[in-house]
Structure 1
Amino acid sequence: MKYQHEIQKRRTFAIISHPDAGKTTLTEKFLLFGGAIQTAGAVKSNKIKKFAASDFMEIERQRGISVATSVMSFEYNGMLINLLDTPGHKDFAEDTYRTLTAVDSVILVVDSVNGVEEQTRRLMEVCRMRATPVIVFINKMDRDGKNRFDLIEEIEKELNIHLHPMSWPINSGKDFKGVYNLYDKSLQLFTANTKANDEDAIRISDLKDSVLDDRLGEKDAALLRDDVELVDGVHGDLSVKDYLAGQVAPVFFGSAINNFGIKEMLDTFIRIAPLPLCRPTSAREVCPDEDKFSGFVFKIHANLDPKHRDRIAFLRVCSGKFERNKYFHHVRLDKDVRFSNPYTFLARDKDVIESAFPGDVVGLFDTGNFKIGDTLTEGENFYFTGIPSFSPEIFKEVVNKDPMKTKQLEKGLLQLTDEGVAQLFTQFGGNKKIIGCVGELQFEVIQYRLLQEYGASCEFRAQPFYKACWITSNDAKKLDDFARFKGANTATDKDGHLVYLAQSEWFLNTERQNNPDIEFHFTSEIHKETV
């Protein structure tokens, strides 16, 4: 319990959404409130040659999308907030899903114009699997979108979660006049193209106050009174217990681009969001207030700084105290390691830290010792469970366009696939390299980064595979015979484990029936050592 004060100060969360819902813009506004940055970057503006603070890869700045999770820490009202901005694009869902294992709560951004979209549903399913507490921010209220009641109903129905409005909009689109904060009974008026601040808030202890008519006009004031009466009647007071259990999601309305409705959400977030939580391991549940340090790697990123060819492993601290230059036990490798320059991040800016506590995300300089899911402890042998891995859905052969750069290509492929966005297979008995991904855009990013970061030029050739299955057997000879007979469809992953690349569901089912002594697994998790 000796780190209780530090644990109480920390809040660790991810921002998730469908692409273009305004997630990265919202991230920047949080950083502005925390004083971490002075001006927000315009992700898609050609006039302003600044970019989103949380998009640090060149391809992200060119495409105006996030393709990797960014980690940022900042202080706000005496709290230390660890914010993880995730990719919205479905092709990078794996990175987002893994990031959700490293946070304690989530802010889900919904576009008021488009409502609930495909990726929103998929992300919410992952949150529901873990009962992760969720706050919903309905963005772009200054655009003509869906009716506020229809939006609430759609989100509840589509995402299967009860909503609890904490603020309420006055109209939308060109008629948008502001939001009424249901919690502290204040009115925030909206003026297009101006940034909201505290001075704009009008305290209204009673909605019958004539100030409301003066500010909004009689018609809109009457509508707000009716809406608030209805919302209060249906929802009453927020049950923080139900929010923490992932059963109820507080909802805020606003406009991220105009800095509007965000402060109310941030203030509520630090008041009700969960502290660092206990986490399951292969041995027992590990809780933050334990004296001994433990943590796990949920993300690896090569060449965060292209000039230094660095490789950073992102570690979530789960218990105890992480200390610079102290030896910790690397469970999978069964060896002790220490770190002379551990970092905290603000996107591309990083600062060396002396210590970190539960909830913090630390960047560790990595020379190739880490894989996603690795656990560090102070000697105990266990690993944190529940970090997902996925079978690829698209397979392509890597064709080297410059034989003089073969070494660079191989090094680049190994390092980039270590990041977890793709899997690398080598054909059994040969040297044909096949990359498996869950989305087409990942190939474009890999090709771009191989060229920019390693000087290796390649192209991809589509392969007729449907699914990758890791194969194991108690009979080593049968496994070896299968691999030789099915050489064109058998490969090894980068750790040397055998993988069957099925051409279709029919082929997969046939092989499973014909080879009862061989087990077919859809993730590589079975090879994680039990310790």
Structure 2
Amino acid sequence: MRAGSKTLSLGIVAHVDAGKTSLTERVLYEAGVLDHPGSVDAGDTQTDSMALERRRGITIRSAVVSFDWRSTTLNLIDTPGHSDFIAEVERALTVLDAAVLVVSAVEGVQAQTLVLMRALQRLALPVVLFVNKVDRAGADPDRVLEEITTRLGPEAFALGQVTGAGTRDAAYLPFEVGAAELGELRRTVRAAAAHPVLFGSAITGAGVTDLLDTLATLLPGSAPETGTAPRGTVFKVDRTDGGRTVLARVRTGSLRVRDRVELDGRPAEKVTGLRLFDRGRLVPVDEVRAGRIAAVSGWSAARIGDRFGDRLGAGDRSAGRAVEFSRPTLETVVDAVRPEDVVAMYAALTELADQDPLIDLRRDDGRREVAVSLYGEVQKEVIAAVLADEYGVEVTFRPTTSICVERLTGVGSAAQLIGVSPNPFLAQVGLRVEPLPVGAGHEFALEIELGSMPPAFFTAVREGIDATLEEGVHGWAVPDARVVMTHSGYYPRQSHSHATFDKAMSSTAQDFRSLTRLVLAEALVEAGTVVCAPIHRFELEVPEDTLSSVLGELSRHRAVPLETTVSGRSALLAGEVPADAVHGVQQRIPHLTRGEGVFTSGLDHYAPTTGPAPTRGRARPDPFAQIGDWTRIQRSWPAG
């Protein structure tokens, strides 16, 4: 990076098919990174590296390319456009300085466009809009600009106009802006109080250099810092050539080879190698300075979302920016096509889940099943492609189901005293479990003295509590609960006639871990739980003349419209739909609305299920099956 230059980490985001990846290719071509712009149709794009991405023509994993434009080094991050990969988009947003939101001049503002704009506004990120495909038949820049200002925000304004729209000769003509106006414009755009709109074509190149000039002129960047400790954020973990590469934004200081760095407070890990994104290539370096994105080797425990180094400094404009990733609400059981691949499949899925905190992998040894969490149906294709291409394992999937939770309906308590039947463990544990407000999480409290037993035993109790709350009475996680320890007791380390330590006479951490699971299971049964399924809040905009058929379809998918507003030729509906019905609605809406319907949804709350409570297979030994007959419990109870 040149001395005195600034860096700008920029995301390109869009609804699928808006031309986002094509725009990225054209930008790289105009910047001199590529000798020709790749084509999504031809499958030779720079940023779509996965085979599935090339086959489907969609972007799934964020890709990074760095290059210089004017006096700015741009880290260009190409992000997914499909709604199933919104979590991947949100991860990228955590390391961005600004974003380009691509809108089609033909289709206009679409469903995912609204979702993305809301995420950008929530993070107060500066946004430049690029209306693409002005050369396509049916392009209507004026109509799309009106849609942008009415549906995305009145803060949007055009920086130029289009001539010859809808023809191959379509061109972008920027408005003249004086120095005073430019200064005010720069201030409002950097504060995310105004959103400039440019027009052009990724295919012909119209308006693309104007876009690059606007980015370098109006958007904020960061100057290199020296003399401070390296700090930053991990936003991607890749497997490459059998190794593990961590992509991280260095926010302050410099990251150097052989540095030992803490990640989210865990023990420090050594940087064994560094590579820097430079003009479409990864170049080995000894140091990566603030503002740049590093490919780090040696961080074996790093996960997406980890922050490294000390707490971010006050001067870091991104210090307060973080995305709270929405959890997946669906899951599916994965089966290996070849029975001999079951072990390899589980190992591969475990590795993927280890890299990604949003992939929840569950193994049910009793049923010999492995389940993974999902945001949508397209993720099945992605998982299958990764397993086949990178691990040589072919898989199939069972029908997708909702991930429910269990909510406490009352207060429950239980205790088992040491040396008193039927307690088979050399431990004494009493627990009370109480419901907490939704969203409060888990709390652990003591009604005993902290020094009443060794710290390792308290740690074991916490581990037993966490394991039990992950799989409640019906097998679902129990959120928002307070567990109070009311009894404790243990046998100190003992031996016969000065011999070595005798486990049969002395309490161990495993005694407390195992007994805690059984005691808490008993308390949960006494408290009572109700199984609740995930409910999405949806918004649906449709042509007014299709409203009747749309309402009928929503009813068939158990969707409940709560608000309906008719304005001109459009109707806007808002309501609730079960998470497991979202995909069905998404599939039917285009057919019922001539492709004009715009459907968006997101997790809103959990609601009690009706009828028999659905159950979930357990990944651990079942303590609830044991509490009815304590005499069957043996000291050999498996580890939690």
**Alignment match of 1:389 (pick from 307, 311, 325):** 325
**Alignment match of 2:265 (pick from 321, 325, 332):** 332
- Residue 435 (structure 1) shift: 0.6
1:446 partnered with 2:416: no
Secondary structure of residue in 2 paired with 1:371: coil
Secondary structure of residue in 2 paired with 1:411: helix
TM-score (norm 1): 0.73
User: Distance between the aligned counterparts of 1:354 and 1:262, measured in 2?
Assistant: 34
Q: Is the CA contact 1:13–1:104 (under 8 Å) kept in the aligned structure 2?
A: yes
- Residue 246 (structure 1) shift: 0.8
- Residue 385 (structure 1) shift: 6.3
Aligned to 2:40: 43
- Residue 54 (structure 1) shift: 0.7
Aligned to 2:20: 23
Gapped regions of structure 2 (runs ≥ 5): 407-438, 446-461, 480-516, 521-528, 536-604, 610-640
TM-score (norm 2): 0.61
Secondary structure of residue in 1 paired with 2:167: helix
- Residue 311 (structure 1) shift: 2.3
Q: Residues 289 and 144 from structure 1, CA distance in 2 versus in 1: closer, same or farther, beyond 3 angstroms?
A: farther
**Alignment match of 2:253 (pick from 313, 320, 323):** 320
Aligned residue pairs, count: 436
Q: Residues 165 and 483 from structure 1, CA distance in 2 versus in 1: closer, same or farther, beyond 3 angstroms?
A: closer
Q: Is the CA contact 1:17–1:120 (under 8 Å) kept in the aligned structure 2?
A: yes
User: Distance between the aligned counterparts of 2:272 and 2:40, measured in 1?
Assistant: 34
Gapped regions of structure 1 (runs ≥ 5): 186-234, 278-286, 512-531
1:359 partnered with 2:269: no
Q: Residues 156 and 410 from structure 1, CA distance in 2 versus in 1: closer, same or farther, beyond 3 angstroms?
A: same
- Residue 75 (structure 1) shift: 1.6
- Residue 501 (structure 1) shift: 12
Q: Residues 346 and 395 from structure 1, CA distance in 2 versus in 1: closer, same or farther, beyond 3 angstroms?
A: farther
1:465 partnered with 2:402: yes
User: Distance between the aligned counterparts of 2:134 and 2:325, measured in 1?
Assistant: 37
User: Distance between the aligned counterparts of 2:87 and 2:129, measured in 1?
Assistant: 22
State percent identity of aligned pairs: 25
Q: Residues 161 and 70 from structure 1, CA distance in 2 versus in 1: closer, same or farther, beyond 3 angstroms?
A: farther
**Alignment match of 1:310 (pick from 227, 233, 243):** 243
Please give the per-residue CA displacement for 1:262-303, whole angstroms capped at 9, x wherever unaligned: 1111112111210139xxxxxxxxx96772210110111224
Aligned to 2:473: 486
Which residue identity lines up with residue 256 of structure 1 in the other structure?
Answer: A
User: Distance between the aligned counterparts of 1:85 and 1:295, measured in 2?
Assistant: 20
**Alignment match of 1:141 (pick from 134, 138, 143):** 134
Aligned to 2:524: none
- Residue 433 (structure 1) shift: 2.0
User: Distance between the aligned counterparts of 2:336 and 2:532, measured in 1?
Assistant: 24
Q: Is the CA contact 1:345–1:363 (under 8 Å) kept in the aligned structure 2?
A: no
Secondary structure of residue in 2 paired with 1:416: helix
Q: Residues 73 and 167 from structure 1, CA distance in 2 versus in 1: closer, same or farther, beyond 3 angstroms?
A: same
User: Distance between the aligned counterparts of 1:313 and 1:502, measured in 2?
Assistant: 38
Aligned to 1:217: none
1:298 partnered with 2:235: yes
Aligned to 1:272: 218
Q: Residues 78 and 491 from structure 1, CA distance in 2 versus in 1: closer, same or farther, beyond 3 angstroms?
A: same
1:474 partnered with 2:406: no
Q: Residues 170 and 468 from structure 1, CA distance in 2 versus in 1: closer, same or farther, beyond 3 angstroms?
A: farther
Which residue identity lines up with residue 282 of structure 2 in the other structure?
Answer: K
Aligned to 1:369: 301
**Alignment match of 1:258 (pick from 190, 204, 221):** 204
Q: Is the CA contact 1:13–1:83 (under 8 Å) kept in the aligned structure 2?
A: yes
Q: Is the CA contact 1:105–1:132 (under 8 Å) kept in the aligned structure 2?
A: yes
> How large is the Cα RMSD of the aligned pairs?
3.6
- The aligned runs of 1:153-172 (5 Å cut-off) are 153-172=146-165
Worse-superposed segment, 8-17 or 469-478? 469-478
- Residue 9 (structure 1) shift: 2.2
Q: Residues 445 and 478 from structure 1, CA distance in 2 versus in 1: closer, same or farther, beyond 3 angstroms?
A: closer
Please give the per-residue CA displacement for 1:9-53, whole angstroms capped at 9, x wherever unaligned: 2111011111111111111111112211111111113xxxx6111
Which residue identity lines up with residue 16 of structure 2 in the other structure?
Answer: P
Q: Is the CA contact 2:246–2:299 (under 8 Å) kept in the aligned structure 1?
A: no
Which residue identity lines up with residue 134 of structure 1 in the other structure?
Answer: V
User: Distance between the aligned counterparts of 1:111 and 1:19, measured in 2?
Assistant: 10
Which residue identity lines up with residue 7 of structure 2 in the other structure?
Answer: R
User: Distance between the aligned counterparts of 2:530 and 2:299, measured in 1?
Assistant: 31
Q: Is the CA contact 1:300–1:420 (under 8 Å) kept in the aligned structure 2?
A: no
Q: Is the CA contact 1:427–1:490 (under 8 Å) kept in the aligned structure 2?
A: no
Aligned to 1:248: 194
User: Distance between the aligned counterparts of 1:110 and 1:442, measured in 2?
Assistant: 24
